[in-house]
Structure 1
Amino acid sequence: MAHDLRIAGIQRPAEVSFTFEGQALMAPAGEALAVALLASGIRRLGEGMDPARPRVALCLMGVCQQCLVRVGGRLVQACITPVQEGIAVTRA
Structure 2
Amino acid sequence: MNEIIIDGEPLPFVEGQTVAAALVAAGRIAWRTTRVGRRPRGVFCGIGVCFDCLVTVDGSDGQRACLVPARPGMAVTTGEGGDA
Output the TM-score relative to the length of structure 1.
Answer: 0.77
- The residue number in structure 2 matching 1:16 is 2
Runs of 4+ in 1 over 6 A off after TM superposition: none
2:66 to 79, 85, 88: 79
- The residue number in structure 1 matching 2:54 is 68
Aligned residues: 77
- Structure 1: gaps of 5 or more residues: 1-14
Percent sequence identity over aligned pairs: 36
Output the TM-score relative to the length of structure 2.
Answer: 0.84
Task: Summarize deviations over 1:19-47 as a string: whole Å, max 9, x none.
Answer: 11112111112211101100001122211
- SS at structure 1 position matched to 2:29: coil
Task: Summarize deviations over 1:8-66 as a string: whole Å, max 9, x none.
Answer: xxxxxxx4111111121111122111011000011222110212x21211110000111
Distance in 1 between the 2:33 and 2:14 partners? 27
Residues 1-92 of structure 1 mapped to structure 2, 5 A cutoff: 15-49=1-35, 50-51=37-38, 53-75=39-61, 76-91=63-78, 92=84
Q: 1:78 is aligned with what amino acid? A: A
- SS at structure 2 position matched to 1:65: coil
Q: 2:27 is aligned with what amino acid? A: G
- SS at structure 1 position matched to 2:42: coil
